[in-house]
A and B are shown apart, each in its own frame.
Chain A
Amino acid sequence: MSPETILVEHLSKTYQVPEREGGFGAAVRSFFKRKYKEVKAVQQINFKITQGEIVGFLGPNGAGKTTTLKMLSGLLHPTAGKATVLGFTPWELKTDYLLTMTLVMGQRNRLSWDIPAADSFLLNQAIYRLSDDDYKRNYKELDDLLELEPLMKKPVRNLSLGERMKCEIAAGLLHRPKVLFLDEPTIGLDITGQARIREFLREYNKRTGATILLTSHYMADVTALCERIIIIHHGQLKYDGGIGDLSRKIAPFKLIGIRLAEANSHDLSKYGTPVQNEEDWEKQYIQVKAEDVTRVTSGLLADLPVHDITITDPPIEDVIEQAFNQ
């Protein structure tokens, strides 16, 4: 077995997506001859991850992160290239491989919605061939970290999003996998929920020496957990290295949002670069360099009748877009 836990060489995935124009004529034509568009989701990526590393896998939506995770966990067959995880070729779906890895993604995965989580956990005990002692020990460990006990007796459909995510993660880790692929493990959780999952993952990694590859929308997840970052964009590997080097590479900036006393539209371009925010029409947003935040903010407050002001980190997609799209 190679010393690398995860080894990826020239891995590529191209989807054939059927496409047709709207309208009746096009529908009839596509019945006889379908047109396909090739979507290159992942193109020739290479990386190695050694045992015990926690690596953050970043990229804008549609960059190919999830596709890569699906290939590494064995769900997808690649179009070209090689990958080995713990010495196995994932998409052969060998039982011995499936017993030592886990993929946590989305909300509905390992738990049946109609029955209490406790029953799904017992099923997992059997499926992953855990002895009663191992099961109890592993469960206790997960319960200590995630406080599962109060959730176990309720049908899963009656749990809140955060509670369900905790149970999903626990169900995925009952068998103490050596490799964890986590797709957005904190999505939809509130700040405390996110912090708790992060804390848990760090602790799990420390206790078991597991290798973790995770994608996230939250920069905070990544900065808290990962020393190493891999960035892909348009299916291509753009960056692979330490998180410190990355922040030096990306000029750090912040978003300032303000709501003015009188109805909107003041020209803010002299304070920073105006940006659109589709989720929040009430505020106007400008982007400024991190070191200028204090100066610009006090300027805004002094010059304008500001009702409300927020200072936030820009979305991770925007940061990457800016850093790698030039």
Chain B
Amino acid sequence: MLKIFQRLWQVNWAEQWQYRANLIMYLLYWLVSPIIYLAVWTSIAATKGDVNGFTANDFITYYMTLLIVDQITSNIVIHTFAYKIQDGTLSGELIRPIHPMLTNALVNNIAFKGLTIMGLVPIWIILFFLFKPDFGNLALSGILLAIPAMIVGFFIGFLLSAAITALAFWTTRIYSLYEFYYALHLLFSGQFVPLTLMPKLIQDIAQYLPFQLLIYFPIQLILGKLSSAQIVQGYVTAGVWLLISIAFFKWVWREGVKRYSAVGA
């Protein structure tokens, strides 16, 4: 199995490398909104002194951390997989003795991530000198705690997206559904605004949803803003959502494959 993943990595890395120009464009597109939030909130906080206790530096460190965390936990599986179900190119992969989603698509996403992170590094350094964040109370323990949280967060996001992608076995119009899922993600993950600045109701809902596990929870871990009780609660929620997303994906996939119509040649 290790050898399979190793060879899958070689192939997918080479493939992604072929499309590096496309990848840079994607990265720039993806960078636009967090950088706008960063700029807008920083200038508001700078003129008012703070926003609900969030200073300009708090916003800068939050969004600078978000750039890295989001890049690690996000996935593009719907864009690289849904069309295969719709146009029948999945056929070749479906009859290989490995799971198309949990091996090839997974490695493909990670390879994509590897390259975009490489592209992100210089941009992040430029932003660092531009905004001069003060990561004053950054601690190694926070970063070490955030690493498993980000890995689990990535798998939760990947499996949920994969399950939505697999709905393409039923209907060819899954992109609007995914847009809706992504809107929920924007609202409840802490991508728009740090969740503490959201209305109480949204915060209460968000802590039971999976989305904050991909963004808000790891960021707060890194920045050392959570109490031990909050850390434990976050990890328990992550564990529960990991199990839910595994079960959900497995069910959708099993039922979906029965409906596969293998269109095209």
Give the interface residue-count category, chain B.
20 to 34
Q: Is A77 an interface residue (CB 8 A)?
A: yes
CB-CB < 8 A to B96: which residues of A?
98, 110, 127
Given the contacts A107-B265, A120-B11, A115 and B97 also touching, CB distance less than 8 Å:
no
Interface members, chain A 28-87 (any B CB < 8 Å)? 66, 70, 73-77
* A15–B260 CA distance with the chains assembled, in angstroms: 11
Whether A114 pairs with B14 at a CB distance below 8 angstroms is yes
Q: Is A221 an interface residue (CB 8 A)?
A: no
Interface members, chain A 122-178 (any B CB < 8 Å)? 122-123, 125-128
Name the one of A15, A73, A103, A125 contacting B7, with C-beta atoms under 8 angstroms: A125
Given the contacts A93-B94, A95-B97, A98-B95, A126 and B6 also touching, CB distance less than 8 Å:
yes
Name the one of B8, B11, B89, B262 contacting A108, with C-beta atoms under 8 angstroms: B89
* A75–B18 CA distance with the chains assembled, in angstroms: 30
Whether A76 pairs with B261 at a CB distance below 8 angstroms is yes
Chain B's interface: helix, strand, loop or mixed, by majority? helix
* A122–B259 CA distance with the chains assembled, in angstroms: 31
Whether A127 pairs with B4 at a CB distance below 8 angstroms is yes
CB distance from A159 to the nearest CB of B (A): 16
* A66–B91 CA distance with the chains assembled, in angstroms: 13
Whether A75 pairs with B97 at a CB distance below 8 angstroms is no
CB-CB < 8 A to B259: which residues of A?
77
* A230–B176 CA distance with the chains assembled, in angstroms: 45
Q: Which of B6, B18, B265 has the most CB of A within 10 A?
A: B265
Name the one of B14, B15, B95 contacting A75, with C-beta atoms under 8 angstroms: B95
CB-CB < 8 A to A127: which residues of B?
4, 7, 96-98
CB-CB < 8 A to B260: which residues of A?
75-77
CB-CB < 8 A to A125: which residues of B?
7
Interface members, chain B 230-265 (any A CB < 8 Å)? 257-262, 264-265
Whether A109 pairs with B91 at a CB distance below 8 angstroms is yes
Name the one of B89, B98, B261 contacting A15, with C-beta atoms under 8 angstroms: B261
Name the one of B7, B94, B257, B264 contacting A123, with C-beta atoms under 8 angstroms: B7
CB-CB < 8 A to B14: which residues of A?
114-115, 119
Given the contacts A114-B18, A115-B11, A123-B11, A105 and B6 also touching, CB distance less than 8 Å:
no
* A183–B7 CA distance with the chains assembled, in angstroms: 28
Whether A126 pairs with B4 at a CB distance below 8 angstroms is yes
Whether A109 pairs with B92 at a CB distance below 8 angstroms is yes
* A128–B96 CA distance with the chains assembled, in angstroms: 8
Whether B94 pairs with A75 at a CB distance below 8 angstroms is yes
The 6 closest A-B pairs by CB, nearest first: A106-B265, A109-B92, A98-B97, A126-B7, A75-B262, A123-B7
Known: A76-B262, A125-B7. 8 other contacts (CB 8 A): A77-B259, A93-B257, A98-B97, A110-B96, A114-B19, A115-B11, A126-B7, A128-B97
**Which residues of B does A touch, CB under 8 Å?**
3-4, 6-8, 10-11, 14-15, 18-19, 89, 91-92, 94-98, 257-262, 264-265
**Which residues of A does B touch, CB under 8 Å?**
15, 66, 70, 73-77, 91, 93, 95, 98-99, 101, 103, 105-110, 112, 114-115, 119-120, 122-123, 125-128, 183
25 CB contacts below 8 A, A to B, read A66-B265, A70-B91, A75-B94, A75-B95, A75-B260, A76-B260, A76-B262, A77-B259, A93-B94, A93-B257, A98-B96, A99-B97, A103-B91, A107-B265, A108-B89, A109-B91, A112-B11, A114-B19, A115-B15, A119-B10, A119-B11, A123-B7, A123-B8, A125-B7, A183-B265
